[in-house]
Structure 1
Amino acid sequence: MIVLYNFGIGLKEYEERGLLNEFPLFTHCPNCQCHAPGNLHRHGFYWRNGVTEKHVVRRIPICRLRCQRCRMTISVLPDFLIPYFQYTLRAVLLRVVEILEKKIKSEGRQLLRFHLNRYLRQVKWVHSYFVEQGEVRGLSNDKRKEATKYMKRILDFGESSFLRRSQGHLSRYFMAN
């Protein structure tokens, strides 16, 4: 299980702190909701890449916890990362915005095309999240226009805030397949 957490710092500082980051202490298991003290144990770390918009690769530790009651392993992922993506949330969103606004061409750039296509498939998911929040109604037939509108809304909302708050919406993650 992945839990997104706001460490209040960026990728560079998170990397510099390494294992000395202030990892959260939970009062309840995120899965079974049992009382955490005595049940949630540190289960080590794994190392993961975080790639910035300038393609700088940073190796960062991800804290793992294990609930003794439900046996679920929980990964505490910084909210500037998208689950299962190496590029940071900001890097992906900025590149998609550039493509949508036609500042760069995505033809021939496999990773850009992948991120754009994944986002375009998510537009209805993003729309349903904002409808659930009571912020919008109706969806036009122009997919690119809607994609641009919602991308601006996500950036205005704050990309990390959006990622944390939308976690679990329709039982999926943002940009999940």
Structure 2
Amino acid sequence: MIQFHDFGIDIQTYTDRGKGNDFPDVRQCPHCPSRRPLHRHGYYQRYALTAEGEYRLWIARYRCQECRKTVSVLPSFLLPYVQYTRPVIWQAVKAWFETPRQGAKTKQVGFPTKEVILFYVRRFLRNLSRLHLTFRTLTRSKQRIFYLVFQNNFLTNTTSDGNPFFTITGRSVSRYT
């Protein structure tokens, strides 16, 4: 299984640090109900391609003592099983939609061929319904919060600068504008 971690550094710094990166401790196995922390199970290398060049990165692996399965921790700028970094893929898809008939912009982003960009554009379009569903769910939950706050008069207090905030079941919910 793969878990993501934001190291808060760019790809060049991550590469320079190598195995000396500040890898997180995985405290619980995502495969089984074991609460024991996972043990470091070594490293493996993988490539990452950007517009600036290619990088060899060290990825930490952990192993559960109970179920014996492994977990890899990927930096947040990578995608599983993909060599191009997430920002490069997003720039390529964005450039494609801004100029769909021109292949000239593809070289600026760092992709070698038009076919690779078309692969990611098709993947983005295929998953668009999932993205739409996610945002629709978020919008509905925001509408429910507004209903609870304004219809049921849950206005309880104001902040130090006089702006109202709302509490719902003990949590502070900022007002959406």
Provide the TM-score with structure 1 as the length reference. Answer: 0.69
- Residue 130 (structure 2) aligned to one of 120, 125, 145: 125
The residue number in structure 2 matching 1:114 is 119
8 Å CA contact 1:98, 1:104 repeated in 2: no
In 2 relative to 1, CA 2–130 (structure 1 residues): closer, same or farther, beyond 3 Å?
A: same
Matched, 1:74 2:79: no
* Partner AA of 1:21 in structure 2: N
1:103-161 deviation line (CA, Å, top 9, x unaligned): 7735971111111111111111111222233379xxxxxxxxxxxxxxxxxxxxxxxxx
Structure of higher CA gyration radius: 2
SS at match of 1:92: helix
Per residue, is there more strand in 1 or in 2? 2
In the alignment of these two chains, the number of paired residues is 133
| Mapping of residues 34-45 of structure 1, within 5 Å | 34-37=34-37, 40-45=38-43
Q: Is the 8 A contact 1:106 1:112 kept in 2?
A: no
Gapped runs of 5+ residues in structure 2?
105-112, 142-177
Percent of pairs identical after alignment?
38
CA RMSD of aligned residues (A): 2.1
Match of 1:28 in 2: 28
1:88-103 → structure 2 map (5 Å cutoff): 88-102=85-99
Which structure carries more relative contact order (alpha carbon 8 Å, separation 6+)?
Answer: 1
Which 5+ residue runs of structure 1 have no aligned equivalent? 137-177
1:23 is displaced (CA, Å) by 0.4
Return the alpha-carbon distance in structure 1 between the equivalents of residues 4 and 137 of structure 2.
20
Q: Matches of 2:52 and 2:116 in 1, distance apart?
A: 12
For 1:29, give the aligned amino acid: C
Cα separation, 1, equivalents of 2:140 and 2:3: 25
How far 1:98 sits from its partner (Å)?
0.2
2:4: which partner in 1? 4
